[in-house]
Amino acid sequence: MKEPHRRGDCPGLSAPMPTGVGLLVRFLPAEQVSLDAFVGFCEAARRHGNGTIEISARGSLQVRGLTPHSAPLFATTVAELGIAIHDGIPVIAGPLVNDADVLVDTTHVAAEVREAIANARLVLFPKVSVVLDGDGALHLDALSADIRLRAVGPAQQPRICVGLGGDGASTTWLGSIAPKDAVGAVLGFLTIIAGCGPTARAAEVLRTDGVGVFRSVFAGRIGPPWAPSGRMPVETVGLHVACDGTITVGIGLAFGYAHADTLEEIVRIAAIHRAQAVRPAPDRALLLIGVAEPKAVHLRAAAERLGFVVYADDPRRRIAACPGAPACASGLIPARALASALTPILESMGVRLSCAPAAASPSPGVAVHISGCLKGCAHPMPAALTLVGTPRGCGVIHHGTAHATPDHYVDPADFGAEISRILANADEVAHG
C-alpha cells in the first residue's frame, strides 16, 4: 500500500484518498464485469468500506469509507474477483458492447494503448487522460481529454481523427491517421507531454510549444479529414439495441451514488432477466448488458422502483452534487442531501429539465450544481445555477463555477424557499 493520496493525484486502489469518513478509492474497469464479480464487488464495498459506491462522470467506480487496514483487503478482493482494471492514466473507450455503429473496435485499441503506456514507463500527471471513440451509439464527446481519437467513415476504410485537449467540441484537431497507427500516435503524444514535466497537460503544451511539436509524431502519415463533423449529444440512460439483438439497459445513479445493497439488488434482478454483464459508463451510469428485448422493460421498471434514474428527462440528470458534509472533510454543506431536496421542488413546479441542448454542446449539461466547497469536484464547468458551501453559508452563483464569487448567500435551512424563488424568476435554470 502506497502513502495516502496527495493533492493533485487521483485515488487508486493502491493509493487511497482521505475524506471526511475514511478513505476513498477509484478505479476504471478495463472491460465489462460479470454479474457475479459485480455482486462480489458490492459485498466487498460493504464489508471493507461504508457501502457507498459511486460512478464518476468519466465512468470510474469509487468506494468510500475504507480504512488503512481495510483498503488493502478491498484491493485484494477486487483482484481475486477477476475485475480487469487499469491503474495508470485513464484510457477510456466506448462503453457499449456489440455496438453495431462502431467503425473501429476501440476496446481492443484501448488494451494495446494501456500495454504500450505501461511498457514505456512514462512519468505523467495522473489527470492526463486518453479517449478512444469508435463513433458508436454512445459517443464520448462530453468527456474532456488530453488525447482524443475518433473514428470516422467510411465503414469499409475508416480513419482516426486525432485531437488534443478539451471535449469533442473544443479539442484541437490535427488531422487523421490509419487505425493501425493509433497506438503509436498516442504513445508519441504522451512522450511529448511527459517530456514537458510531471504536471504537464496537452493543452498547456499546445499553448507554449504550438501544434507543430505534436504533428511531428505522424511524419508523413497524417491526412484528411482534418476534423470530424459535429454530433448531437447522446444519453447513456435508456435502452440500447446491440448488433446481436439484445438490449443494454442504461440506468443512472442519482447524483452519482448508491448503496452497495441497492446496486447488488439490481444486479441480481438483472441476472434473473438473463443479463450477461454490467459496465460502469460515463455520466454516472451503469449499463446492464445483454438482456433479451421482452425483459428489458421489466428490468428498467425494477431499477426505477429501486430509485435509479431510468429516463433521460429525469430532473436528477441535470443536478450535479458532490458528497458534501459530512462525507467529505472539505464539505461545508450537505450537498447531496440538498440535491435530493431540490428534486421534488422541481417536480412540484412542473419543471421537467430537457436533455436536448444546442447542437454545438457536447453533453446534456448541468442546470444546477451543488458543491460542498469551492473546489467544485462534481462539476468543474459553469452551470446555470451553482450553490457552494462557504464559511458564510450557501453561496448562490448564477452562470458560473464553484470558484466564482457568490452573488449572495443563504442559510441551507432556507434552501427550498430560495430555490423556489430562483426557479420562479429564472427560466434559464429550467432550460439550462
Place of cell 421542488: 345
398: containing domain:
316-431
**ω before 126 within 30° of 0 (cis)?**
no
Half-sphere exposure of 158 (CA within 13 A, CB side): 23
Residue 161 has pLDDT above 90, yes or no: yes
In terms of domains, do 146 and 197 share one? yes
Instruction: Answer yes or no: is 371 within a domain.
Output: yes
Shared domain for 197 and 100, answered yes or no, is yes
d(CA 153, CA 149): 13
Boundary-marking domain end, from 215, 249, 273: 215
120 and 139 in a common domain: yes
pTM of the model: 0.90
Integer-rounded Cα radius of gyration of the chain = 21
CATH number for the domain harbouring residue 24: 3.90.480.10
The domain that holds 106 is classified in CATH as: 3.30.413
Q: Are residues 278 and 203 in the same domain?
A: no
Q: Do 359 and 422 belong together in one domain? A: yes
SS3 of residue 299 by DSSP: helix
In angstroms, the CA 35 to CA 155 distance is 33
Give the per-residue pLDDT at 423: 65
For residues 105 and 132, is the Cβ–Cβ distance under 8 A?
Answer: no
- Cα separation, 199 vs 369, in Å, equals 28
Question: Residue 3: its pLDDT value, please?
Answer: 43
Same domain, 106 and 187: yes
What average pLDDT does the segment 115-142 reach?
95
Residue 25: predicted pLDDT:
95
Q: What span, in angstroms and rounded, lies between the C-alpha atoms of 339 and 305? A: 19
Are 367 and 318 spatial neighbours (Cβ–Cβ below 8 Å)? yes
Query: Percent of the chain at pLDDT above 90?
Result: 71
Render pLDDT for 336-388 as a digit per residue (tens, 0 to 9): 998 998 888 767 655 444 333 333 333 446 788 999 999 998 888 888 889 99
Is the pLDDT at 420 greater than 80? The verdict is: no
Q: Which of 312, 346, 371 marks a domain boundary?
A: 312
| Same domain flag for 328 and 373 | yes
pLDDT band (50, 70, 90) for residue 411: confident
Q: What is the pLDDT of residue 9?
A: 57
Lowest mean pLDDT among 1-10, 30-39, 202-211: 1-10
pLDDT tens per residue across span 84-102: 987 789 999 999 988 989 9
Which of the listed residues 183, 215, 247 is the one where a domain comes to its end?
215
- Which position has the higher pLDDT, 425 or 173? 173
Tally of domains within the chain: 3
Q: What is the pLDDT of residue 431?
A: 46
Please tell me the predicted confidence (pLDDT) of residue 357. 39
Q: What is the pLDDT of residues 250-283, one digit of tens each?
A: 999 999 999 999 999 999 999 999 999 999 999 9
CATH number at 364 reads 3.30.413.10
- Picking from 332, 316, 175, the residue whose alpha carbon sits closest to that of residue 255 is 316
Domain identity same for 46 and 65: yes
Each residue of 184-232: pLDDT tens digit?
999 999 999 999 999 999 999 999 999 999 988 887 889 999 999 999 9
Q: Residue 235: how many CA atoms within 13 Å on its side-chain side?
A: 19
Residue 425: per-residue pLDDT: 65
